[in-house]
Chains A and B, each alone.
Chain A
Amino acid sequence: MSAVYDLKREVEKPERLTGGHRLCAGCGAGIIVSGVLRALEKEDRAVIVNATSCLEVSTFMYPYTAYTDSFIHSAFENSAATCSGAEAAYNALKRRGKVEGTVKFITFSGDGGTYDIGLQSLSGAMERGHDMVYVCYDNEAYMNTGIQRSSSTPRFARTTTSAVGPVGKGKKQNKKDLTEILVAHNIPYAAQTAPIGNFRDLHTKSYKAIYTEGPCFLNVLSPCPRGWDYPMAKLPEIIKLAVDTCVWPLYEVEEGVWRLSYMPKKKLPVEEFFRSQGRFKHMFLKGNEWMIEEAQQYVDQKWERLLERTDA
């Protein structure tokens, strides 16, 4: 990668996730995958791994694959172990002179496959130190099965298993902080990013993750028009609001050094993010003002802590 990021030049590279896949319009996953894979050097090959997910069933429905690189999916909870197996094969075959060139190993899994059912597999692979990148495209619920809450779903969000009614207030618990869990693995590189603006943040972090030796992790916010309930054209706006409200701060931790990637010019109130999506609609009903207050307090606390850690 040259020193200056140039979106125009980057998008001239051949797409490694081709059009014609079956992801919804307005979904974050497709642009995240294209964005991450664009950071691969042209001459390098990749083995792409998916957990079972919307992404997987939309990009590799027999007999068509949307990937130009080699690809493997096996199950829901084992994408990290799967990636580590492919990487182990590469090391073995390389040692025995049976494979040519550079091959990179990149996993994409949703939050269900990462925060929940795949956490053990991910932790194991990171601890073992495989040279791989694990990308979580975080849409904050089990979208492939029809919008059920995961440990990534934020507090108060409505899902089909965190219902809203006279008693139910949406999800009861706060979102698990997965990026911090990965940082605690002392891996060489972990970052939180999003496909925002000209994709510079996603691109540079993807490049670092792919070309830093050892296990690297990217947590990427991935809005879902069906689960979050927004008009599909609003995708970029929603990502921007998540970042500017500090609901989804952009930062990276490189060899233990925390760095803030983006400081909002003006930190917006969280309700602006909540207002953009149907899943938070009940928070704006009369009598539910406390929800927004508590959510704001939580985001502020997390943000302050991040600022302390990054010395920003």
Chain B
Amino acid sequence: MSNCLSGNEAVAYAIKQINPDVMGAFPITPSTEIPEHFAQYVADGEVDTEYVTVESEHSSMSVCVAAEAAGARSVCATSSCGLALMYELLYIAASCRLPITLACVNRALSGPININNDHSDSMGARDSGWIQIYAENNQEAYDNFIMAVPVGETPSVRLPVMTCMDGFITSHAVENIELLETDAVRKFVGEYNPENYLLKKENPLAVGPYDISPYYMEHKVMEAEAMKAAKARILEVAAEFAKISGRHYGLFEEYRMEDAQLALVLIGSSAGTAKAAVDKLRENGVKAGLIKVRVFRPFPGEELARALANTKAVAVMDKSEGFSANGGPLFAETRSALYDLKDRPYLIDIVYGLGGRDLKTEDVEEVFGRLAYITVTGETGPVYTHLGQRQRRR
């Protein structure tokens, strides 16, 4: 069925269709509408989820951790500082191998306080052990949330999943999207039946030990193995999802990459703008292409290297500053992935869009212009730069 929904409504609707056991709810812009819509579903009796309206995001994630450990499928939504407040628990959720699903509506981190979109919140949590899947638009936000559940709950994975969409740009913009029938969603996600859980009568379970040096590292390696295993599982689930939806998803999307010599790598809603720019450049005979990274954790390094192997110059576009003084997080991952290629393309990093700064098609064209110049001169110039800075007055 076709519907006109905002990204937040689409995710709330996905959660309604999943009808999880427990939801931890706390408001923060721009994700607030997700728990708001869900509260209405609860009030209308459309779901029988235990809806826990906590006093902070820290407690929201704490509720999800305990509920999931107790055997309940648990979800929540947050943004920005809310995710930052959950930080401690994100690691705990992952290390306890609890497949919670969290909708992260990406927003800049304070400070200074700013409610608009960039990826600094989820990028800050990129090493917490969560699977991260990013959406370009409302349709993907909806689809990703539904696929996240069986991915995380797979016994060989058992990791929490963060599905991300761009705040306001995706969360508040209304688009036509295709929704699945609720029965199809319920069938797709199935029942959550973990092997061991706190409320299991036959076998009491202890969760969250003090873990000493002789064991701690083994547990972390198991977690790392699970993240590796997640990659194949994400593709399997996407293939199953294609059967019921007709929509196909990979670890990343390649747009006009077949013979591309100049390419962008980026994440999220900017892909729409970039695709328009690529189309325009193609009309002018420029062999431009785009890779939109969908799955950032686990990072598809080998696959990305293969996809970029025949390009001449690549611009990675980071929608978060990493303050590494050496480029943003997507750049660091991509450059590392390309290192094993025999012939590597030129590579630059463009940090853009912080705190909701617009990215226009002209901006993207300018980046491609730089790439073209690099291929002609063989000079990369400054590797790591920021796009669209106003002139500083002296």
- Cα–Cα, bound, A49→B201 (Å): 17
CB of B14, distance to nearest CB on chain A (Å): 18
CA–CA, A124 to B59, complex, Å? 9
Whether A82 is near chain B, meaning CB under 8 Å from some CB there, is yes
Interchain CB contact under 8 A, A47 and B58: no
Tell me whether B204 and A70 are in contact (CB under 8 A).
yes
Q: Known interface pairs A70-B199, A100-B201. Does A121 touch B62 (Cβ–Cβ under 8 Å)?
A: yes
**Contact between A123 and B66, CB atoms less than 8 A apart:** no
Report chain B residues within 8 Å CB of A99: 71, 199, 201
Residue among B21, B65, B66 with the most chain A CB within 10 A? B66
* Interface flag for B54 (CB, 8 Å): yes
Counting residue pairs across A and B whose Cβ atoms lie within 8 Å, the total is 162
Q: Which among A82, A103, A124 is the interface contact of B65 at CB below 8 angstroms?
A: A82
Chain B residues positioned under 8 Å from A47 (CB to CB): 70, 198-199
- Interchain CB contact (< 8 A) of A96 among B48, B53, B89: B48
Instruction: Tell me how far the C-beta of A60 lies from the nearest C-beta in chain B, rounded to whole angstroms.
Output: 5
Q: Which single member of A56, A69, A95, A121 contacts B48 (CB below 8 Å)?
A: A95
The 8 A CB mask of A81-101 against B (1 = contact, 0 = none) is 111111011111101101111
- Indicate if A208 sits at the interface (CB-CB under 8 A): no
Are B206 and A67 neighbours in the complex by a CB distance under 8 Å? yes
Taking a contact as CB atoms closer than 8 A, the residue among A62, A85, A120, A123 that contacts B64 in the complex is A85
Structural contact, A124 and B55, CB atoms closer than 8 A:
yes
Write out the residue numbers on chain A whose beta carbons fall within 8 Å of the beta carbon of B72: 88-89, 92-93
Contact with B along A157-184 (1 / 0, CB 8 A): 0000000000000000000000000000
B209 touching A93, Cβ below 8 Å: no
Q: Is the CB–CB distance between A85 and B212 below 8 Å?
A: no
Please state if B92 and A89 are interface contacts (CB–CB under 8 Å): no
B49, B59, B70: most-surrounded residue (chain A CB, <10 A) = B70
Let me know if A78 and B62 touch, CB within 8 A. Answer: yes
Q: Residue on B with the closest CB to A60? A: B209
Instruction: Tell whether, in the assembled complex, residue A92 and residue B62 are in contact, meaning their CB atoms are under 8 Å apart.
Output: no
B199 A78 Cβ-Cβ under 8 A: no
Task: Report the minimal beta-carbon distance from A130 to chain B, rounded to whole angstroms.
Answer: 9
Check A60 against B50 for contact (C-beta < 8 Å). no
Residue of A nearest to B49 (CB): A92
| Choice from B52, B59, B204 contacting A78 with Cβ under 8 Å | B59
Q: Give bound CA distance, A221 to B268, whole Å.
A: 54
Instruction: Say which residue of A74, A96, A101, A124 sits within 8 Å of B66 (CB atoms).
Output: A74
Q: Is A57 an interface residue (CB 8 A)?
A: yes
Does B210 lie at the interface of the complex (its beta carbon under 8 Å from any beta carbon of A)? Answer: yes
Whether A89 pairs with B199 at a CB distance below 8 angstroms is yes
With both beta carbons as reference points, the residue of chain A lying nearest to B204 in the complex is identified as A70
Given known contacts A63-B209, A92-B21, A120-B56, is B65 in contact with A98 (CB within 8 Å)?
Answer: no
What CA separation (Å) do A249 and B54 show in the bound complex? Answer: 33
Report the nearest B residue to A88, measured CB to CB: B50
Q: Assuming the A-B contacts A81-B54, A89-B50, A98-B71, are A74 and B208 also in contact, with contact meaning beta carbons closer than 8 angstroms in the complex? A: yes
Q: How far is the CA of A69 from the CA of B198 in the complex (A)?
A: 9
* Contact among A72, A89, A91, A123 with B207 in the assembled complex (CB-CB below 8 Å): A72
Q: Does B244 sit within 8 A of A, measured CB to CB? A: no
Asked whether, in the complex, the Cβ of B63 is within 8 Å of the Cβ of A84, the reply is yes
- CB of B22 within 8 A of chain A? yes
Instruction: Confirm or deny: B383 has a beta carbon within 8 angstroms of a beta carbon on chain A.
Output: no
A128 with B52: in contact, given A82-B65, A88-B63 (CB under 8 Å)? yes
Is A85 a contact partner of B206 (Cβ separation < 8 A)? no
User: Are B52 and A65 in contact, with the CB atoms below 8 A?
Assistant: no
Closest Cβ neighbor of B92 among chain A residues: A74
A61 close to B201 (CB less than 8 A): no
Q: Which of B54, B58, B67 is most buried by chain A, counting CB atoms within 10 A of its CB?
A: B67
Q: Does A233 contact B (CB under 8 A)?
A: no
Residue from B48, B65, B210, B215 within 8 A of A60 (CB atoms)? B210
Q: Which residues of B contact A82 (CB under 8 A)?
A: 62-63, 65-66
Contact partner of A70 (CB less than 8 A), chosen from B52, B68, B206, B209, is B206
- How long is the Cα–Cα vector from A93 to B72 in the complex, in angstroms? 7
Bound complex: CA of A118 vs CA of B137, how far in Å? 39
Q: Which residues of A contact B205 (CB under 8 A)?
A: 70-71
A93 to chain B, nearest CB (A): 6
Interchain CA distance A56-B199 in the complex, whole Å: 20
> Known interface pairs A63-B209, A81-B54. Does A86 touch B69 (Cβ–Cβ under 8 Å)?
yes
A-chain residues with CB within 8 Å of residue B96 when the two chains form the complex: 74
Q: Which residue of B lies closest to A65 (CB)?
A: B206
The answer on a CB contact under 8 Å between A89 and B56 is no
Known: A56-B210, A86-B66, A124-B56. A72 touches B198 (CB 8 A): yes
Q: How far is the CB of A37 from chain B (nearest CB, A)?
A: 13
Complex CA–CA separation, A83 to B62 (angstroms):
9
Residue in A45, A65, A100, A127 whose beta carbon sits within 8 Å of that of B209 in the complex = A65
B24 within 8 A of A: yes
Report the Cα distance A65→B67, complex, angstroms. 20
Chain A residues contacting B65 (CB-CB under 8 Å) are: 74, 82, 85
Q: How far is the CA of A231 from the CA of B62 in the complex (A)?
A: 39
> 7 A–B contact pairs at CB < 8 A?
A62-B211, A74-B66, A74-B92, A81-B63, A92-B67, A93-B70, A93-B72
Closest 5 A-B residue pairs measured CB to CB? A85-B66, A124-B55, A89-B70, A85-B63, A89-B72
Known: A81-B58, A89-B68, A124-B54. 15 other contacts (CB 8 A): A65-B209, A69-B204, A70-B200, A74-B62, A81-B59, A82-B63, A83-B66, A84-B66, A85-B62, A85-B63, A85-B74, A121-B55, A121-B62, A125-B59, A128-B53
